[in-house]
Amino acid sequence: MVRSTGSWARWLYSGALYLLSPLLWRRIWREQTPANPRKERLGFVPRHRGGAPCIWLHCASVGEVLAARPLIEALLDRYPHHRLVITTMTATGAERVRALILARGARLEHHFIPMDFPAATRRFIDRLAPTLAIFFETELWPNLLAACHRRGVPVIVANGRLSPRAYRGYRRLRPLMQDALSRVDWLAAKSSADAERFRALGMSAVRTEVVGSLKYDLSPTDEVATASKRLCTQLGSRPVWVAGSTHPGEDEQLLDAHARLRQHYPTALLILAPRHPQRFDAVADLCRERSLPAARRSRAELPDTRTAVYLGDTMGELLVLYGAADLAFVGGSLVPVGGHNLLEPAAMGVPVLTGPQLANFEDVALVLREAGALVEVNDGDELVDALLRLFDDEPERHRLAEAGQAVIAANRGALARTMGGLAVLLGG
């Protein structure tokens, strides 16, 4: 009966997609790279014609690709006779995967995920012919999951995450989500709260396991550590703080806070790294409007003593930028976005500051908070106060950094548990 109800729900869902297709195509049209023909959005990927078996991993965008990096590395190392195909929804995610391809070689491939039309998803699965499908975090596409089931492809949801906000949205579509989750062979949830929300949508408790968050298995590479140390040396002994993954409405608050900080520390430098590359030029304009001289990393410009802002307008270097600073503010948290990865600066040994909007990282924030490894502010005024206090207190900065690294060390292990469950479905 579940499948029957779900089939009707999926039929209605597919009809709505077709009706909305002009708007969807308009949105997708912007998410393009020269290496990916737009026909990939209809499932036209190169046809698998034998050879190395394929493991397929889907990550929505750049944030998920970065969070999945430990899993990607482990898959490449553990299964040397498989090819790993990563799909993304966004062009920024595609560029991040392309950087991994340059680092890891030919066994790693990238395609855009097809739009969730029934024919497009069937075509994609038939052509790709994966031996295992891994969906990262909250990517639940009903027709794509049905296409996997039709072809007998085992499905894993890795680092399964379902925020309260996402759960409320999915709950309105429970028959559809119950049908989608019935196609999942194993859900590796990152917390018991996430697991419970998935079960409330219809996920089988028997096929759900709490493994922890893969984000704790983040290990900066030697190349990242070296580049970060080099940048730190280039910036000199001035006070430096970084604001990473920032959003509209937040950059203005951060720049205003930095201007006030410079009244007390005239040589202070803000490394500002907007979340989305299409905003790089707009944020550079904001710096000019506020008379804050800026250097741009994309132009190989290095800050001098007059520079107030170093614009991190490159992709894939956020860890490098975090590690070069004395303090790190994680964006998406002064505006209602839900925050971003609080563990990235902690992994680089840098004290972590955040705003109040943490819906996407409540579990991580709780662990850091309980360990005394998180500085939380409600607005720009409190951020200035926190920056002044911490720049005046070097021992406290060291304590926060050590506490953050201790949290990461104590919570590692999700990767090993995920790889163990994946091995069962792959047959060894």
- Which tens digit of pLDDT belongs to each residue from 200-222? 999 999 999 999 999 899 888 89
What does the alpha-carbon distance between residue 214 and residue 71 come to, in Å, rounded to a whole number?
8
What does the alpha-carbon distance between residue 313 and residue 277 come to, in Å, rounded to a whole number?
7
> Residue 3 has what pLDDT?
45
> Which pLDDT tens digit goes with each residue over 1-50?
344 456 889 999 999 999 999 988 888 888 888 889 999 999 999 998 77
- Count of C-beta atoms within a 10 Å radius of residue 424: 11
β 327-330/352-354 pair status: parallel
Q: How far is CA 1 from CA 142, 176, 178, 204, in A?
A: 17, 13, 11, 15
> Which pLDDT tens digit goes with each residue over 120-146?
999 999 999 999 999 999 888 999 999
Tokens of 297: 């990393």
Q: How far is CA 65 from CA 68, 136, 143, in A?
A: 5, 9, 22
What does the alpha-carbon distance between residue 147 and residue 308 come to, in Å, rounded to a whole number?
52
- Count of C-beta atoms within a 10 Å radius of residue 266: 11
The domains of the chain, with CATH numbers, are 37-212+413-426 (3.40.50.11720), 222-410 (3.40.50.2000)
Name the least confident of 26-30, 102-106, 177-181, 214-218: 102-106
Beta bridge partners of 329: 243, 353
What does the alpha-carbon distance between residue 284 and residue 292 come to, in Å, rounded to a whole number?
10
What does the alpha-carbon distance between residue 151 and residue 244 come to, in Å, rounded to a whole number?
42
pTM: 0.80
Q: How confident is the model at residue 259 (pLDDT cuts 50, 70, 90)?
A: very high
> Which pLDDT tens digit goes with each residue over 345-399?
999 999 999 999 998 888 899 999 999 999 999 999 999 999 999 999 999 999 9
User: Looking at the annotation, which residues are catalytic?
Assistant: 64
Summarize the confidence of residues 72-78 as an average pLDDT. Answer: 93
Q: 136, exposed or middle or buried, with CB in 10 Å at 0-12, 13-18, 19+? A: buried
